[in-house]
Amino acid sequence: MNAASPAPVERAELFLVPLRLREAFETSGATARDRSVLLVALHAGERVGWGECVAGAVPSYAPETMESAWTTLTEQLLPMTVGRAWTGDLPGPTDQPMARAAVEMAAWDLEAKRRGVPLCEAIGGERRPVAAGIALGLQPDDDTLLARVGAAAAAGYRRIKLKIKPGRDVDMLRAVRDRFPDAPLSVDANGAYTLADAPRLRELDELGLLMIEQPLGVGELADHARLQGAIGTPICLDESITSLTTARRALELGSCRVINLKPGRVGGFRAALEIHELCRARDVPLWCGGMLESGVGRAHNVALATLPGFTLPGDLSPSERYWERDLVEPEWRMVDGALLPLAAPGIGAEPDRTRIEALAIRRHSLGAPS
């Protein structure tokens, strides 16, 4: 292991790369056909650390957007990063957690490469297989959904998550459970329901679901607690968990029994590690969700999911699930229902810089070129 002190970041780059999804992905709130990938590259000597910002084009999932993140990165975070040696704490604004996470996780990749260890080990995990799950968007009809669930089960996914919304929930799910009585199923509402829907959501108890994810709105922790008291299916919170503070509050109220922890949503690994320790202390199971990331962001998610508190399969599908061709080599592949962190230092996968530069529609660079 290289024991040298961290070198200052000499240069930072941003790339905005548009990619077309293999198929449209529909939730209760939006339909995505394309995904703009915002990548951060931090240079220190010959090493480059990569991160990915998970903000969307519009503020449907979170208030932060790709445009606001770009502004925060170019005007605040990157100028505060270049010329400094990273010591584990990122200065700058805290109200744009997705932009912060992109820089912070790129710095972690750089640090892992400096130390000569895989990223998972650098953050306290171990290089072990991570159980893969698949998230299926809303389908046009039940026959299509049943075919998709059957294909996912045959592929070996350890968990199959189905998107739901009012009008496409109980009856649809009964049809799935009747066809696949033993399938490991969960559902995700993306906040589409209200507390008044409790009787309807209680009908899901008979279906043996692993969990119902984010049934109510982001800030409705008290109502989530009331709903959890009224139904037997475990509630999992996703969008509501924006920080250690909100995670602690949710657990104190009894708003959920499971947490979906996304490092890109909470500001990076430092916050994610704090939430991980909180949940371990309270025996609350964790899993790592996805935000339609490229292979760069997926590498960070896989690394996080190797920590001991992540006991449930996450939304960590292989590259081919989303892209005709990913932005990294090798692409992420699933073996026996799991993804394995690569043994190379840092994120392991190597971003295809030539392709990234060719596809980028927007670029920014700060600092001296190497």
* Residues 347-363 pLDDT 10s: 999 999 999 999 999 99
Interatomic CA distance for residues 53 and 291, integer angstroms: 10
pLDDT band for position 28 (cuts 50, 70, 90): low
Which pLDDT belongs to residue 282?
Answer: 98
Q: At what angle do helices 97-115 and 269-281 cross, to 10 degrees?
A: 90
Which pLDDT belongs to residue 30?
Answer: 63
Token pair 């957690």 is found at 97
Which pLDDT belongs to residue 2?
Answer: 46
Interatomic CA distance for residues 90 and 44, integer angstroms: 16
Interatomic CA distance for residues 320 and 77, integer angstroms: 32
* Residues 187-204 pLDDT 10s: 999 999 999 999 999 999
218 to 116, 136, 194, 232: CA distances (angstroms): 39, 21, 11, 21
Interatomic CA distance for residues 233 and 225, integer angstroms: 13
pTM of the model: 0.94
pLDDT band for position 29 (cuts 50, 70, 90): low
342 to 23, 295, 332, 346, 347: CA distances (angstroms): 27, 12, 9, 9, 7
Average confidence (pLDDT) over 57-86? 92
Interatomic CA distance for residues 186 and 332, integer angstroms: 23
pLDDT at 370 over 60: no
Which pLDDT belongs to residue 192?
Answer: 96
Average confidence (pLDDT) over 257-275? 97
| Tokens standing for residue 331 | 């692409």
pLDDT band for position 166 (cuts 50, 70, 90): very high
What are the structural domains of the chain? Answer: 11-117+351-367 (3.30.390.10), 130-339 (3.20.20.120)
Average confidence (pLDDT) over 138-157? 96
* Residues 291-313 pLDDT 10s: 999 999 999 999 999 999 999 99
Which pLDDT belongs to residue 32?
Answer: 73
Q: Please state whether 283 falls in left (phi above 0), alpha (psi between -120 and 50) or beta.
A: left
pLDDT band for position 266 (cuts 50, 70, 90): very high
Does the annotation mark 262 as catalytic? yes
**Catalytic one among 113, 161, 165, 262?**
262
**Catalytic one among 113, 161, 163, 165?**
163
* Residues 167-184 pLDDT 10s: 999 999 999 999 999 999
Does the annotation mark 161 as catalytic? no
